[in-house]
Amino acid sequence: MAYRSTQEMIKMLESKEYLQEKLYVNGFLITNHDFEITDEYPFYGNWYDNKIGDYNIYFHKNANLTLYQDDNTYFFILGHAVDPFDDLYTEDSVLKKMAIAYRKGIDEYYEAQSDLTGIYCTGIISTNEIYVSNDCTGMQIVYYGTINGSVYFSSHSKLIADLLGLEQNAYIKKLVSSKFYHYMGTWLPGDLSPYSELTRLVPNHYVHMNKQKECSIVRFFPVEKIIENADDDSYQNSINCLADILHKTLYLYSKKWDDKKVSISITGGRDSTTTLACANGLYDSFNYFSYISNDSERVDALAAEQICSQLGLNHDTYVIPTNDIELLDVDVFATILECNSGCIGEHNRNDVRKRLYFIQNPKYDIEIKSWVNELGRASQYTKYNKKSFPKEPTVSYCRALHKIYISPKLIHETDLIFDEYLKKYYSNDAFEKAPWMELFWWEFCWSGGEGIFLTSEHRTSSEIAIPYNNRRYVERMLTVPLEKRITDSIPIDIIKHMNPEIAKTGVVVKNIKHTDKRALLMRIYLEIFSRIHF
């Protein structure tokens, strides 16, 4: 894959006006440097700006910026958030709650933020200082850095690179061109961005830039040790609590977007049927759909159709073209997606066509996805078909969990990156509050992998909502004993609790990618290469 230069992109997009707005879609840039919003690359007149003190907030026309002022302090949310604990469904009301909490201190502010469900970047601007954080699992990617004395925060690393003329470093170029890089997804180790000058914001942390533009990274969650509760009463209380959070969140979505077409995507798997069960009593507020973009997804769509039919719900199945000639501008759009993710690898062609199909054939305004629930389902154990992981992480183990690395030099360089990552984010008492594997999976694998995927690709065709993307929800899932999480007890029992009719259908679709053979091969690689050092 060749790196896409600014000049290449300008030439490619000059005659594709309808796709220009998909470049850095839903994006934002927060900086104390002044830029001009023009009709040319990279903004194409699709962005707005808002001046707050020394900072400018530039944001894409599809991005939702909400501001709240309290004296000389400004609070902002870029994206969307609801609070299922205080029944708040507008960003104005959410920010007001957080501003009240901030009067008691920064810790109370972030305690209030942990109540939120959403996909967002949120922060505080006050007397030349700025605090920035993102959602539970970093589904809203944020990159940050200080370059030539100016501060930058952005959803898209290449946007800053375009504006400042940054170049990818030698390690990134070598990594993304390595033989096995595309296996296990296109994402980077540690907290790297595609550019040395920028860093990916790790979830459960905030960035503080003071008056002198000195940067500090502070963990704010989890606050207390997450303790597994093994007795039956505690487990049932957890099921009731989790179901209540999901149901309230879906109710708030129905209020928040009552003027839009909001659709729940259904596959027949545990996570999407859990979402469907928790929408009980709200079924008229949503639409329901599946898509078929390859033969393996026909099973998913059929299962979803059967479940919806049992509940008396209308269900749509969309068939995505399986070759490029049935859609317009596939190559151009694929290049846009590469730039949106920072040019760290080509996107799966099947996914490219899927997003482009929904752009050219709009079906809904908001897609409710059932991601993040996998955190509580101990999916890392089923992925490798393992009953346990080491009690403490090593840099080589983290590297082997990330990707297939064969080159000795690349292994050595990547181990140095993970060594710095572990020291930077987990050197204090983080692993005393939650098992290392849970935090690593949560904060690295989800944000560094799925967050980039969602920010760069999924949100090009519609806004996305994830009812599970809530710190209280994930924390409560992790109180359930590991053996119950591995056997999918949480989604199974939430479904039974919220809508037994779904359980009665007996329809369950397993992830065909997680075959025993695949798990065995991945486990063999993990066990061998986690012991290799160069």
Mean pLDDT calculated for residue range 270-292: 97
Cα→Cα distances 171→30, 118, 405, 517, Å:
27, 34, 13, 32
User: What is the structure's pLDDT at 7?
Assistant: 85
Whether the per-residue pLDDT at 418 is higher than 70: the answer is: yes
Whether residue 3 is predicted with pLDDT greater than 90 in this model: the reply is: no
Average pLDDT over residues 119-126: 97
Residue 513: the pLDDT is 59
Task: Determine the pLDDT at residue 521.
Answer: 93
Residue 274 has pLDDT above 60, yes or no: yes
Residues 191 and 247 in one domain: no
Give Cβ neighbours of residue 391 (< 8 Å, ≥ 6 apart).
none
In a domain, 330, yes or no: yes
Residues 237 and 368 in one domain: yes
96 and 240: one domain?
A: no
Q: Are residues 43 and 95 in the same domain?
A: yes
- 82-89 average pLDDT score: 98
pLDDT digits (tens, 9 = 90+) for 51-72: 999 999 999 999 999 999 999 9
Same domain, 472 and 342: yes
For residue 184, being part of any structural domain is answered with: yes
Helix, strand or coil, per DSSP, at residue 463: strand
Which pLDDT does position 415 carry in this prediction? Answer: 98
Domain termination residue (choose one: 167, 184, 219): 219
Confidence of residue 494 (pLDDT cuts 50, 70, 90): very high
Burial 307-344 (b: 16+ CB within 10 A, else e): bbeebebebbbbebeeeeeebebbebbbbbbbbbbbbb
Q: What is the pLDDT of residue 57?
A: 98
pLDDT over threshold 90, residue 296:
no
- Average the pLDDT over 92-115 and give the result: 98
Domain boundary among 172, 190, 219: 219
Question: Could you give the percent of the chain with pLDDT greater than 70?
Answer: 99
Confidence label for 509 from pLDDT (cuts 50, 70 and 90): confident
Mean pLDDT of the chain: 95
Compute the average pLDDT of residues 478-492: 96
Output the pLDDT for position 151: 96
Q: Which of residues 508 and 350 earns the better pLDDT score?
A: 350
Query: Residues 367, 333: one domain?
Result: yes
Residue 317: its H or E element:
strand 316-319
Q: What is the pLDDT of residue 512?
A: 54
Q: Would you tell me the crossing angle of helices 270-278 and 232-256 to the nearest 10 degrees?
A: 70
Asked if the model's pLDDT at residue 240 lies above 60, the reply is yes
pLDDT at residue 259 greater than cutoff 90:
yes
In tens, the pLDDT along 162-194 reads 999 999 999 999 999 999 999 889 999 999 999
* Nearest Cα to Cα of residue 29 among 198, 196, 148, 192: 198
Element (DSSP H or E) covering residue 91: helix 91-102
Round to whole Å and give the CA distance between 104 and 83: 19
CATH code, domain with 490: 3.40.50.620
Strand ranges, E, within 83-213: 117-126, 129-134, 143-147, 150-154, 199-200, 205-209
pLDDT, tens only, 371-416: 999 999 998 998 999 989 999 999 999 999 999 999 999 999 999 9
Rounded-to-integer distance, Cα 418 and Cα 149, Å: 28
Q: What is the mean pLDDT of residues 80-100?
A: 98
Residue span of the structural domain in which 414 resides: 384-437+523-529
Q: Domain holding 115: CATH number? A: 3.60.20.10
Number of structural domains in the chain: 3
Q: Same domain, yes or no, for 96 and 195?
A: yes
- Residues 182, 317 within the same domain: no
Lowest mean pLDDT among 242-251, 359-368, 379-388, 522-531: 379-388
Structural domain contains residue 115: yes
Q: Are residues 282 and 185 in the same domain?
A: no
Q: What is the pLDDT of residue 8?
A: 85
The model's pLDDT over 452-475, given as tens digits with 9 standing for 90+, comes to 999 999 999 999 999 999 999 999
Indicate whether 1 belongs to any domain: no
How many angstroms separate the CA atoms of 193 and 285, rounded? 39
Residue 151 lies in a domain: yes
| Whole-angstrom distance, CA of residue 14 vs CA of residue 9 | 8
Check whether 352 has a pLDDT greater than 80: yes
Check pLDDT > 60 for residue 2. Answer: no
Tokens (6 digits) for 269: 């798997």
pLDDT value for 128 = 80
Mean pLDDT over 113-129 rounds to 95
The domain boundary residue, chosen from 181, 196, 219: 219
Rounded Cα distance between 453 and 168, Å, is 19
